[in-house]
């Protein structure tokens, strides 16, 4: 099973791809779609759409997993992030891919073992779980890979029961 994890953002959207074989997880690719922080929202959303379209076309995942919005600093931030998530959901739906959503707490619990882990702990555990301890992963990429790991582990448990 190949899983694409997506950490949505209106300025940077991280993505990470892994393959699950039995109880092992293998890193395939990751990156960050930089959307141009000072560009108008409509341009950033178009860049997001085109960038994600390219990632999906190149890597053809079996499943997609995305972080679920649970809070935002303010209403405007939540609305802008909602627009970005809408673009992501639309691109995934165009391809008929299964989509799974996880809260940040679920991701931290699955990857680190504690729902209150910080970003550096998530990055460190992603590196360990994917055998990439010495390969630095940008924060948005590590978050996306953590989301993919969460789904890969959750789907493994569903198959086992």
Which residues belong to the active site? 7, 67, 140
For 116-128, give one letter per residue: b (16+ CB within 10 A) or e: ebeeeebbbbbbe
Q: Name the packing angle between helices 104-111 and 139-160 (round to 10°).
A: 80
Q: What is the DSSP letter of 149?
A: H
Tally of CB atoms within 10 A around 97 = 15
Q: Coil, strand or helix: which one is 92?
A: helix
Q: How far apart are the first and last CA of the chain?
A: 18
């Amino acid at each position: 099973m190949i899983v694409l994890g997506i950490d949505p953002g209106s300025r940077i959207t991280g993505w990470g791809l892994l393959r699950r074989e039995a109880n092992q997880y293998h890193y395939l690719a990751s990156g960050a779609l930089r959307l141009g922080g000072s560009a108008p929202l409509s341009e950033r959303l178009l860049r997001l759409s085109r960038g994600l379209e390219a990632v999906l076309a190149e890597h053809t995942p079996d499943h997609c997993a995305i972080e679920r919005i649970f809070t935002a600093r303010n209403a405007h931030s939540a609305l802008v992030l909602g627009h970005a998530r809408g673009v992501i959901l639309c691109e995934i739906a165009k391809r008929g891919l299964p989509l799974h959503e996880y809260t940040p707490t679920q991701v931290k619990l699955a990857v680190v073992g504690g729902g209150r882990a910080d970003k550096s702990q998530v990055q460190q555990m992603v590196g360990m779980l994917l055998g990439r301890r010495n390969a630095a992963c940008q924060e948005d990429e590590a978050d996306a890979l953590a989301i993919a790991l969460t789904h890969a582990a959750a789907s493994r448990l569903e198959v086992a029961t």
